[in-house]
Amino acid sequence: MTNFVDYLLGGFSNGAVIALMALAIVLVWRSTRMVNFAQVGQAMFTTYVALTIQQSTGSWILALVVAMAAGLVLGIVVFFLVIRPVKNSDSTGAIIATFGVLIALQAGAGMIWGGDPQGFLTPVDNSGIEFAGRIWPISLYDVLVLVVTAALVIGLTLLFTKTNLGLSMRAAAFNPEVARLSGVRVNRMLITGWAIAGATGAVGGVLIAPVSTISPNSFDILLVFAFTAAVIGGLDSLIGAVTFGIGTGLVISLVSGYSDSGNAPIVALILLALNLLLKPDGVFGHHGARSV
Amino acid sequence: MKYVLPLTHPLLATENVSITLSGLQILEDVSIGVPEGTVTGLIGPNGAGKTTVFNIMSGFLTPDSGNVRFDGKKLKHIKTHHLTKLGISRTLQGVGLFASLTALENVMLGGSARVKSGIVADSLGMPWADHEQNKLRAKAMETLTEFGIADVADRYPSELPYPVQKRVAIARSLISDPKVLLLDEPAGGISAGDMAELGRMIKSWTPERTVLLVEHHMELVMDVCDLIWVLDAGKVIASGTPEEVRNNPAVLAAYLGDEGEGH
């Protein structure tokens, strides 16, 4: 039983990062109805930017803020690279184009920063907290990850539910033509969606880097987990992405704890396949919402 | 509200508009005008091109030749999202509500273009952005109250009876305080009693607002319109008062021909 609790606790912060990546995928899906497979590549690239900032200034906060800003910009750049040229064809072309962007970003990062894994310093202690006479599998840094993730999720929820921008973005996502008739600048909303997704993914990258090291391909596996969480959550749902992001983190931790960490991606893919078979709209997805 | 043909200064007009879609001539040299302060009807058999006229006026389609004039100005390259700022508001066939937004949010959206806070202030949750949004929320609530449906503010469209959804859609198009309302089959799918109520409502908007109405229910059209344009196969075949149009042999022929083809 102690093992079980320990494995669960150990999965939370990893799950939080998966949740952020899943959120980024959901944000892009909500704005343009497509999956951006370059999302983890963008996060990898902005994490290298953060690493450079951290190495030169020593400030983790500054590195995080610059990474978010870089994520915003990169989100907009990828939007124009991918969406604009294939705007008049079907979205399959655009989705394939996101793979192209992923490969280009990985190659680019390798050329700029080299292919060797690099360490990323944690801003706070990353060893297990000692409490009530034992060491728990959760560190101060894990707590920081959870706090930052929670703050971001709350911020995004407020943005979508309480602001005019959020209202316009939701409308633009569900029915662009009707939104335009209501005066919404739809293209601007779609770009904003990609930008916010870029910044969200950037936060995820900076948070995971200290525990995983960073190399041009180190986030690839994160794509599998985040995509699984986003799809099971319904692709449309922020709550779904967060719930199943954290859920995926816990499952990975249990699978790794009881068997071998190499089995985690297989389990994730089995979950994804089961979901597509049993509940293709996702657990939090509402099918009707797509037809107006 | 009185008008004289030919119209001298209509508030909204198409001038010699022609358009071909997928090789079919949908509209041919269509010139119609909507005098300020009137309810003007646009009728015709199925496939006559009525909705295409609306789609050109709202920037969904660009005519091959001819143009739209509003308030004396030629509108080139109509951008749909500018319409509400110009003072033109359109409802859609059916209801066109956002299923994932509440009734209140749907109505708020109609006024969202007037909110000045902008992307950055909204993202950062600036107090003035909150203030603007609260003003919009209050105005949307007021509009729902005017329509007698304040109690459904927090409900989603799928939970509401069809006539109530229709009211929400009309409330959304009115919150931007438009000069012109383009109503695309507002009476579709509602009962006789609701239709009489709708007729009274449309008439009550004039002369402050101007209405262009596309509608199949002739009793409603004849009841509320000051002026009627009749389209058939993409051409204007008649115009005039409801009385004149009702007795026009060309109009009768067009409608009988339509029924003869089994529509």
DSSP B27: E
Last residue of a domain, one of B141, B176, B211: B176
**Closest CB from A158, A188, A289 relative to B125:** A158
Integer Cα distance of B74 and B62 in angstroms: 13
Q: Has residue B194 been placed in a domain? A: yes
Q: Which residues of B touch A196 (CB under 8 A)?
A: 123
The pLDDT of residue B46:
87
A→B contacts (Cβ < 8 Å), by residue, are 155, 158-159, 162-168, 170-171, 174-175, 177-186, 188, 192, 196, 286, 288-289, 291-292
Name the residue of chain A whose CA is nearest to B97's CA: A292
Strand order, beta sheet including B180-184: B88-90, B180-184, B210-214, B39-43, B227-232, B235-240
For an interface test with A, give the residue of B77, B95, B104, B112 to mutate (most A CBs within 10 A).
B112
Q: State whether B55 and B3 are in the same domain.
A: yes
The pLDDT of residue B138:
94
Kindly determine whether residue A167 and residue B176, on different chains, have CB atoms separated by under 8 Å: no
Q: State whether B168 and B182 are in the same domain.
A: no
Name the residue of chain A whose CA is nearest to B99's CA: A289
Q: State whether B238 and B163 are in the same domain.
A: no
Q: Has residue B93 been placed in a domain? A: no
Task: Tell me the shortest Cα–Cα distance from B181 to chain A, in angstroms.
Answer: 12
Q: Has residue A120 been placed in a domain? A: no
- Mean pLDDT, to the nearest integer, of A115-133? 86
Residues of chain B numbered 232-261 and touching chain A (CB < 8 Å): none
Kindly determine whether residue A167 and residue B101, on different chains, have CB atoms separated by under 8 Å: yes
Q: Has residue B71 been placed in a domain? A: yes
Q: Which residues of B touch A180 (CB under 8 A)?
A: 59, 80-81
Residues of chain B numbered 206-235 and touching chain A (CB < 8 Å): none
- Mean pLDDT, to the nearest integer, of B66-83? 91
Res. B5: pLDDT tops 80: no
Task: Tell me the shortest Cα–Cα distance from A174 to chain B, in angstroms.
Answer: 7
Q: Has residue A122 been placed in a domain? A: no
Q: Which residues of A touch B80 (CB under 8 A)?
A: 177, 180-181
Q: State whether B184 and B81 are in the same domain.
A: yes
Q: Has residue B231 been placed in a domain? A: yes
Integer Cα distance of A162 and B131 in angstroms: 11
Q: Residue B140 — φ and ψ, nearest 5°?
A: -65, -40
Q: Has residue A198 been placed in a domain? A: yes
Token pair listed for A12: 């939370």
Report the domain count for chain A. Answer: 1
The pLDDT of residue A144:
94
Token pair listed for B146: 């005017």
- State the Cα angle at B182 between B181 and B185, rounded to 5°: 125
ipTM of the prediction = 0.84
Short-list A17, A43, A15, A26, CA closest to A227: A26
Q: What is the pLDDT of residues B212-240, one digit of tens each?
A: 999 989 999 999 999 999 999 999 999 99
Q: Has residue A57 been placed in a domain? A: yes
Q: State whether B19 and B73 are in the same domain.
A: yes
Name the residue of chain A whose CA is nearest to B82's CA: A183
Q: What is the pLDDT of residues A8-24, one digit of tens each?
A: 888 999 999 999 999 99
Last residue of a domain, one of B157, B176, B195: B176
Q: Has residue A136 been placed in a domain? A: no
Q: What is the pLDDT of residues B19-73, one digit of tens each?
A: 999 999 999 999 999 999 999 999 999 889 999 999 999 999 999 999 999 998 9
Query: Would you say A45 and A108 are in contact if contact means Cβ atoms under 8 Å apart?
Result: yes
Q: State whether B232 and B187 are in the same domain.
A: yes
Q: Has residue B245 been placed in a domain? A: yes
Q: Has residue B68 been placed in a domain? A: yes
Q: State whether B126 and B241 are in the same domain.
A: no
Residue B222 belongs to what domain range?
A: 1-87+178-263
Q: State whether B133 and B260 are in the same domain.
A: no
Kindly determine whether residue A163 and residue B99, on different chains, have CB atoms separated by under 8 Å: no
Could you tell me the pLDDT band of residue A272, with boundaries at 50, 70 and 90?
Answer: confident
Residue A239 belongs to what domain range?
A: 2-114+163-290
Kindly determine whether residue B98 and residue A168, on different chains, have CB atoms separated by under 8 Å: no
Q: State whether B64 and B167 are in the same domain.
A: no
Report the domain count for chain B. Answer: 2
Model-wide pTM > 0.90: no
Q: What is the pLDDT of residues A219-267, one digit of tens each?
A: 998 999 999 999 999 888 888 999 999 999 999 999 988 988 888 888 8
Q: State whether B109 and B234 are in the same domain.
A: no
- With H, G, I as helix, E, B as strand and everything else as coil, classify residue B61: coil
Q: Has residue B182 been placed in a domain? A: yes
Q: State whether B189 and B138 are in the same domain.
A: no
Burial status of residue B198 (CB atoms within 10 A of its CB: 0-12, 13-18, 19 or more): buried
Q: State whether B170 and B186 are in the same domain.
A: no
The pLDDT of residue B188:
86
Give the CATH number of the domain where residue B196 resides. 3.40.50.300
Last residue of a domain, one of B128, B158, B176: B176
Kindly determine whether residue B100 and residue A286, on different chains, have CB atoms separated by under 8 Å: yes
- Interface check for B43 against chain A (CB to CB < 8 A): the answer is no
Integer Cα distance of A206 and A45 in angstroms: 10
